[in-house]
């Protein structure tokens, strides 16, 4: 049987974009998870959502894996991007667009621009 670190690594390696969150993309269970999932959904980014509330080992394990104390946690192409505040800042600055483009991840550029316009 795999240990939790190997399970997490496999999840991250199997998908280009992974969001470890409380709840699911359809039913987020906290405001921070809801915000990040909402942005990814709005921008049309294909991603795997992992509900940490359904597995206590993964809930603690992802914090240890990334050395980051909070959830949600976004990974793109195997790299830890950050939590809610970092993702929000990256969307508003355009950094997330650049990262997605660099990594060949499809997203709706017009939607990203609308987010920035609404928060200007």
**Residues contributing to the annotated binding site for [2Fe-2S] cluster:** 30
**Bridge partners for 99 per DSSP:** none
> Is the bond preceding 72 in cis, omega lying within 30 degrees of 0?
yes
Which residues are part of a known binding site?
30
Under 8 Å between Cβ of 31 and 39: no
The phi and psi torsions of 116 (rounded to 5 degrees) equal -65, -40
Which residue shows structure tokens 């987010």?
Answer: 115
């Amino acid at each position: 049987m795999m240990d939790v670190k190997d399970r997490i690594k496999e999840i991250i390696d199997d998908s280009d974009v992974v969001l470890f969150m409380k709840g699911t993309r359809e039913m987020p269970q906290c405001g921070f998870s809801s915000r990040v999932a909402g942005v990814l959904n709005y921008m049309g980014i294909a991603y795997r959502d992992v509900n940490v509330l359904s597995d206590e080992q993964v809930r603690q394990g992802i914090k240890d894996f990334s050395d980051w104390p909070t959830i949600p946690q976004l990974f793109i192409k195997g790299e830890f991007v950050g939590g809610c505040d970092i993702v929000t800042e990256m969307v508003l600055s355009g950094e997330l667009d650049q990262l997605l483009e660099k990594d060949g991840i499809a997203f709706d550029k017009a939607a990203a621009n609308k987010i920035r316009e609404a928060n200007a």
